[in-house]
Amino acid sequence: MESNNLDYDAQRLHDLGYKQEFKREVSLFVQAGFSFTTMGVLPNWMVGFGPSINAGGPSSLFWGWIVVAPFVCCIALSMAEVISSYPLEGGVFSWSLMLSNKKWGPFMSYMNGYVYLIGLVTANITLGYSAADFIIYIANTLNIAQITSQGATVGLYCAIFIIATGYNFLGMRFSSYLNKFLVFWVGIGTIIIICTVPAMAPNLNSAKWVFTEFTNNTGYESVGMVFFVGMLQAGWTLVGYECGAQIVEGTKRADVTAPRGIIICVAGAVIQGFVIILVTLFSIQDVNEIIESEMPLSTFFLRATNSPRLTAFFLVILLLAQFGSLCNSMLATGHFAFALARDGCLPFSSYFSKLSETNNVPQRALFAQLVISILVIMPTFASVIYWQAIMSAAVISINVAYGLPFLCRLIWVRNDMPRGPFSLGRFGLALNFISVVWICFFSIVLCIPSVSPVSSETMNWASVMIGGVMIFSLFFWFISGRKNYGGKNTNVEKQ
């Protein structure tokens, strides 16, 4: 029954079974900026291109982006259509329920919820750790004495997480301020880097070298296998565009603004990445030196500009962009955990489903994330393999979570999904199918070791980690979920 005293967004949420709990203060600019800066293409592609150049060289990095980007656009368009129909904080978790039947819906959404939550938490850990690395790089670039202590990195990591958590406690208004700043910071920073680096580079590589040079330092004999491994750099970078779903219940006219935000974010990220890749590849001075360097990004900037101070300035640009990405991703994780708790999926759900009274922030979920993230990073003192496993868990979990709602739609709903203001029409199912096929294929690629032969140190732990994530999720389903979780907990106010 429609409630005449509710505005459009609150009524839309009411019709989906939930009451309005967040203040509607997120605009299209902030919605798109939130996802765009969460993706962090500028810092995340540049921080990983050095090691990735082993697999295929410059041509693999360039053409890998060209191959991956259209499929990411298919996923983004499919997400935009679904979020227009179901603008809910739970994102992929809620969509898996809505797009399944009554028998399988609770199981599919429960599994997706845990897989995605683990993916978000581990992704935040990688963002915090790489931000700490940027600080180490800056210090080592400007000083003769080099910092190599793992303790220094972990200490900086903990400090960064504490600061980011504290900022998110301030609420969505301050998150909006941060994202407005970050959009301009990343935009201007990208322009500065792409203009300055090639202008100062002693030598520029030829177009033939950039587009056709193929390097294989992986040990694989198959060219196709090497290209797939090199393609991972694009796949690792082009994730995070769904995070706008986690603030959708605070977005004005969410069923229109949220899909537009996803599309604008992905289009901007693809174009930004394309330009950054070209500038970087044309400006590389010595590939082997970058491959062998312990700080490949610093080495790249130093050789291109011959200026430690300018290199440090570029790293500061990337550091702030990465910190903003971490803040956004942490906030998205907190909101997602709130959505899971609201539906009774988490242990102590009644505790974690409470928002702060002053600014409607899921502070309890954010604080729990802080504690978990600090505890999880400690075993890195013992082994670098553990750190690689964390990164693998982040990438594979998030990609699996992307595909499950589309798979549910293809199996159970197909053309019966209610259409929101943004609809793909007759192309919707086709793009859903392409997205599922790509995610299945890319999930296999994500499990390929980066070198051959494989040892314990070079093993790709993605397959082991996703198996562990699924076993973890199934364990909680059988001991708790199947008894206590039957779908969404309708919490609309009684009229």
| 17 has a pLDDT exceeding 90 | no
| 492 has a pLDDT exceeding 70 | no
The confidence score (pLDDT) of residue 495 equals: 39
493 assigned to some structural domain:
no
428 assigned to some structural domain:
yes
Which letter does DSSP use for residue 419 in this model? P
231 assigned to some structural domain:
yes
Least confident of 121-125, 132-136, 290-294: 290-294
User: 């983004």: which residue's tokens?
Assistant: 76
Q: Coil, helix or strand for 30?
A: helix
Alpha carbon distances (Å) from 76 to 113, 304, 345, 471: 19, 35, 26, 28
Cis peptide bond upstream of 379, omega within 30 = no
10 assigned to some structural domain:
no
Identify the CATH number of the domain in which residue 227 sits. 1.20.1740.10
Residues of the domain holding 314: 21-479
Q: If pLDDT is split at 50, 70 and 90, which confidence band does 267 have?
A: very high
As beta bridge partners, residue 216 has 55
Give the phi and the psi of residue 104 in degrees, each rounded to 5. Answer: -100, -15
Q: State mean pLDDT over 195-211.
A: 95
Q: If pLDDT is split at 50, 70 and 90, which confidence band does 136 have?
A: very high
Q: State mean pLDDT over 351-357.
A: 91
Using an 8 Å Cβ cutoff, are 168 and 366 in contact?
yes
The confidence score (pLDDT) of residue 494 equals: 40
486 assigned to some structural domain:
no
**Which of 25-29, 271-275, 449-453 has the highest average model confidence (pLDDT)?**
271-275
Q: State mean pLDDT over 64-85.
A: 96
The confidence score (pLDDT) of residue 117 equals: 93
Q: If pLDDT is split at 50, 70 and 90, which confidence band does 29 have?
A: very high
Using an 8 Å Cβ cutoff, are 286 and 303 in contact?
yes
The C-alpha atoms of residue 446 and residue 337 are separated, in whole angstroms, by: 26
149 assigned to some structural domain:
yes
The confidence score (pLDDT) of residue 144 equals: 83
Least confident of 91-95, 390-394, 481-485: 390-394
As beta bridge partners, residue 50 has none
Q: What DSSP line would sit under 228-239, residue for residue?
A: HHHHHHHHHHS-
As beta bridge partners, residue 251 has 26
Domain tally for the chain?
1
As beta bridge partners, residue 26 has 251
Q: State mean pLDDT over 181-201.
A: 95
44 assigned to some structural domain:
yes
The confidence score (pLDDT) of residue 489 equals: 61
| 458 has a pLDDT exceeding 90 | no
| 446 has a pLDDT exceeding 70 | yes
64, containing H or E segment: helix 57-85
| 2 has a pLDDT exceeding 50 | no
2 assigned to some structural domain:
no
